[in-house]
Amino acid sequence: MKHECEEALERAYLYLDGEVLSEDERVEIRIHLEDCGPCYQRVGLEREITTVVARLRGSHECPQPLKARITTLIQRF
């Protein structure tokens, strides 16, 4: 993975986790994601996972096979 991708993804994950980023940082992330398909896909997957986890938090116990599958999918990217 390119260094610029690592930096953009790190900041994008901070943003997804609710951290406050400056307008300049958000613009840089958006520009990188518009230009880099793999990073765009990875952030999209992370966003979907975050949304599902937030919605289901505390309502059901996640089965171990599902946890393992999710971990495998995330590590592929």
What pTM, to 2 d.p., does this model score? 0.61
Cα 32 to Cα 2, 16, 50, 69, distances in angstroms? 12, 16, 21, 28
State how far Cα 6 lies from the chain centre. 12
Chunked mean pLDDT (size 10), the chain, 77 residues: 87 82 88 92 85 76 86 81
Indicate if the alpha-carbon torsion angle 44, 66, 19, 75 is positive or negative. negative
**Burial environment of residue 48 by CB neighbours within 10 A (0 to 12, 13 to 18, 19 or more):** exposed
